[in-house]
Amino acid sequence: MASPLILFLLLSLFAVTCSSLRCTTQMLKLNQVYPNCADLPTLDSFLHWDYNNLNNSLTVAFEAAPPNPGGWVSWGINPTGDGMVGAQVLVAFKDNNTGVVTVKTFDLKSYHEIIPGKLSFDVWDMRAEEVGGVVRIFATVKVPEHAMAVNHVWMVGPSVTAGRIGKHEFDPPHLNSKGRLSFSGGHGSGDAAAGTVDFTTRRKNIHGILNAVSWGFLFPLGVIIARYMRVFPSADPAWFYLHVGCQLSAYVIGVAGWGTGMKLGSKSGENPFSGHRNIGIALFCLATIQIFALFIRPNKDHKFRYLWNIFHHSFGYTIIVLGIVNIFRGFFILQPDEKYRAIYLDVLLILGALVLVLEVLTWIVVLKRKYCSKSNTYDGYNNNGQSRQP
């Protein structure tokens, strides 16, 4: 009987531990009751809040664990945008001299100007505490009159040196730590938990879809059409127009996706994904050269046609490789639902299977054609059926 009892106690302890990670089961040390709470989608952080429509104030309790004992946590509101730049934030960290957790206000004018400053709205009752490595920020802020929601941001960082907070990581969980906080939200079911799709996120989604369709699907499909349909004489010149149409469509959509990405990069200040951006620029340049090279294509019997073919094929395959690589880098940055990554993997597998089948079929056709040509030329007879022997 002892073993089942011990197992039951262990499972109960595990259940209590897991449930404590939910905002609805957390007991705040200052014993203030907040009617709303949310498990924020990134950085293992939580937010409790209460909105008072009589004086347009928002009382919040934010909690998160800094990545290091000497790190910091922050929460704030962005009255002008939906990201970090322009946000008015409260930052809490432990003072190295006193060991007391303090709260400071920061006006984030840019990624390069992270210094304490007065907020653009009133804030009072600021305080902080640390419980078991988790830092909690308590405050009440003034929000615009008749506002039903605000853009809010949260963050954690590794260090504080002489009162200056160190830079946080620039991976997707940190860059996606933002959302829309609805004042009418419920326990974990409000916009703060799910995060409404803001304008920037929608633009990122559009950027990803355009590039996946262009560089990740249409462009490889155009290459497949050119490589395998041209083997069959009956497909000439249809294969050429299909190939050109597919590549032109891919280029137009790809340029739209590239332009959207460049616009996103120009608004993000310090761009942590320079590799993704540089590959995108390289794709745009290579594809533009390919399109213009179409107008200087030599005739088939021109003595320099083989050089044009080498250039055209090498650029085309390079675009395919770079495009697919950059799409997966985009998946890492945007962190969409796993089903979207799975869908694109299925598309690549289908294209790969199609290439494999067509490669075998076209080689069979080519080898058979060569065999028939040799038989007709070297079987000892001419085309009239007469012997060519003297």
What integer is the mean pLDDT of 122-127? 87
Q: Which residue has the tokens 């262009």?
A: 214
Lowest-pLDDT range, 18-27, 75-84, 284-293? 18-27
**Bridge partners for 156 per DSSP:** 73
84 or 253, which is more confident?
253
Q: How far is CA 55 from the centre of its chain?
A: 39
DSSP 107: E
Is residue 380 over pLDDT 70?
no
- Predicted confidence at residue 378, as pLDDT, reads 52
Identify the band that residue 19 occupies on the pLDDT scale cut at 50, 70 and 90.
very low
Measured from the Cβ of residue 335, the count of other Cβ atoms closer than 10 Å reads: 15
Tens of pLDDT, residues 163-219: 677 777 777 777 788 888 887 654 443 444 444 445 666 777 888 899 999 999 999
Is residue 44 over pLDDT 50?
yes
Query: In this prediction, what percent of the chain has a pLDDT beyond 70?
Result: 79
Write down the pTM of the prediction: 0.54
116 or 386, which is more confident?
116
The helix (run of H) or strand (run of E) holding residue 175 is: helix 172-175
Q: How far apart are CA 94 and CA 13, in angstroms?
A: 31
Q: How far apart are CA 94 and CA 92, in angstroms?
A: 7
Q: How far apart are CA 30 and CA 137, in angstroms?
A: 11
Q: How far apart are CA 266 and CA 363, in angstroms?
A: 48
Q: What residues have CB less than 8 Å from 84, skipping those under 6 apart?
A: 78, 108, 111, 153, 155, 178
- Predicted confidence at residue 320, as pLDDT, reads 92
Contact 250, 244 (CB under 8 A): no
Q: What residues have CB less than 8 Å from 225, skipping those under 6 apart?
A: 239, 242, 243, 246
- Predicted confidence at residue 7, as pLDDT, reads 38
Query: In this prediction, what percent of the chain has a pLDDT beyond 90?
Result: 17
Average pLDDT, the chain: 78
**Bridge partners for 91 per DSSP:** 74, 104
What integer is the mean pLDDT of 225-254? 88
Q: Which domains does the chain have, with CATH numbers?
A: 34-194 (2.60.40.1210), 201-376 (1.20.120.1770)
Contact 335, 176 (CB under 8 A): yes
Identify the band that residue 31 occupies on the pLDDT scale cut at 50, 70 and 90.
low
- Predicted confidence at residue 213, as pLDDT, reads 92
- Predicted confidence at residue 133, as pLDDT, reads 84
Is residue 251 over pLDDT 90?
yes
- Predicted confidence at residue 194, as pLDDT, reads 42
What integer is the mean pLDDT of 314-318? 91
- Predicted confidence at residue 264, as pLDDT, reads 76
- Predicted confidence at residue 191, as pLDDT, reads 47
Is residue 57 over pLDDT 60?
yes
Q: How far apart are CA 228 and CA 222, in angstroms?
A: 10
Closest CA to 49 of 66, 33, 25: 33
Q: How far apart are CA 250 and CA 290, in angstroms?
A: 12
Q: How far apart are CA 156 and CA 17, in angstroms?
A: 23
164 or 260, which is more confident?
260
What integer is the mean pLDDT of 335-353? 86
Alpha-carbon distance values, 359 to 88, 152, 204, 313 (Å): 59, 54, 36, 16
Contact 197, 180 (CB under 8 A): no
Contact 166, 80 (CB under 8 A): no
